[in-house]
Amino acid sequence: MISFIFPNIFFQDPGLLLQFYVVELSLFEISADYGMNSRLIVAKENPNVGLVISEGDPAPVSSRPLFTMVVTEIEALFHRLANFNFSTGAELLTKQSLFEWPLGQNMTLKDPAGNIFIIERPYAA
């Protein structure tokens, strides 16, 4: 049985990733400092979901999403991020509106390392 999943994200400046996920996106908090410029961040609403942010060469950037996060409320988050000035180089890629599809709504973002990810809210969980 899986209890946790913490994908690893590497970047030359892990501080930028921490700034983005913890401060700008504001959905995560730092949970552990593993040393060697590596930290675990976990979702504020679910500590079983997180990312390990480490210094190192990033994986090749892909146009495909690295991961999808499901949230319970997306409208307010979208409006905040659509008007947010990201100092880290991150970007909301769906700036005009939430993407509507038959099962829910989502938005696509790019983090400072160039990783694409999706935040979605399904209509039924």
Where do the domains of the chain lie?
8-122
| 3-state SS, residue 56 | coil
Q: What percent of the chain has pLDDT over 90?
A: 85
Q: Which long-range contacts (CB under 8 A, 24 or more apart) does 24-27 make?
A: 24/84, 24/86, 24/87, 24/88, 24/90, 25/81, 25/90, 25/109, 27/69, 27/71
Average confidence (pLDDT) over 12-18: 97
pLDDT at res. 59:
82
Average confidence (pLDDT) over 44-58: 93
pLDDT in tens, 56-114: 998 888 889 999 999 999 999 999 999 999 999 999 999 889 999 999 999 999 999 99
Q: What is the CATH number of domain 8-122?
A: 3.10.180.10
The overall average pLDDT reported for the chain is 94
